[in-house]
Copies of this chain bind each other. A is one copy, B any other.
Amino acid sequence: MPKVAESTVRRLSLYLRFLEEFEEQGTATVSSEALASRGGTTSAQVRKDLSFFGSFGKRGLGYQVAELASRLRQILGLGGRYSVALIGAGKIGTALFEHHGFRDRGFDIVAIFDRDPAKIGSVWSGIAVSDVAELERVLTANPVDIAILVTPADAAQEIADRLVRLGIKAILNFAPVQLNVPHEIAVRTVNLVLELEALSYALTNR
C-alpha cells in the first residue's frame, strides 16, 4: 500500500460518507465532480486521490457507488471492529464515550481509565472505570487496538509511553501536548485550542 498523506486519508473518509448516502438513496453511479463537492475539493483531486489505490470508474460514466464504497471501506480498514481504551473519564471523555458515531463506524470502547478515586469503580454502560495505575494489568488481560487519551497535559506523555510498551499502535490524543512516540505508532492529535487559534489567525489576517 502506498504511503499517502493524512489529508488524502481524510478526503477518502469524506468520499465514503457521501457514497454511503448515495447507497441509501439507491443511486448507482456518481461523478468525480459530485464527490469533489463533498470533499471540499476538485474533481482532479478526487481522481488523483483514488488513483493511489488502483483504477476506479470509467471515463464519462463516473464511479459505481457500491463498488467504490466497498473498496474505500477496505482501504480505510473499516468493516471489522476495533476495540478502544478510553483514558480519562472527565467531561470530554464522557462525551466521547457517549458519541454514537464511534460504535456505528466499528470503534468499541471496551475499557475506561481514570486516576480520580471518585470515578474509579463507577460503571458506564456495563464498563467499570479502572484505576489508571492498573493500565498494564487490564490491557494485558484484554488488549485493545486503539487508545483515546483525554488526560491533562502533564500526564499524557507518561501514559503514552506505557501504551507504547503495551504494544498499542494507534493513539487518538486530546491532551494539549505533542506526544513523542516511535514513528511506527500512529497518532492523531485533536487540540481544540489550536483549532480556535487557527480561526483567530484567519480573522486577523483576512
Q: What are 20 residue pairs bridging A and B, where the CB atoms are less than 8 Å apart in the complex?
A: A1-B205, A9-B198, A13-B198, A37-B180, A38-B178, A76-B200, A77-B204, A91-B94, A101-B192, A102-B193, A102-B196, A105-B196, A107-B200, A172-B192, A172-B195, A172-B199, A186-B202, A188-B195, A188-B196, A190-B195
Tell me the number of copies of this protein.
2
- Contacts from A to B (Cβ < 8 Å): 1, 6, 9-10, 12-14, 17, 37-40, 75-78, 82, 84, 91-92, 94-96, 98-99, 101-102, 104-107, 145-146, 169-172, 176, 178, 180, 184, 186, 188, 190-206
A190 to B92, CA, bound (A): 14
Known A102-B192, A190-B192; 18 more pairs at CB < 8 Å:
A1-B205, A13-B197, A39-B178, A40-B178, A75-B204, A75-B205, A91-B95, A91-B98, A91-B99, A92-B95, A101-B192, A105-B196, A145-B203, A186-B199, A188-B196, A188-B198, A190-B190, A190-B195
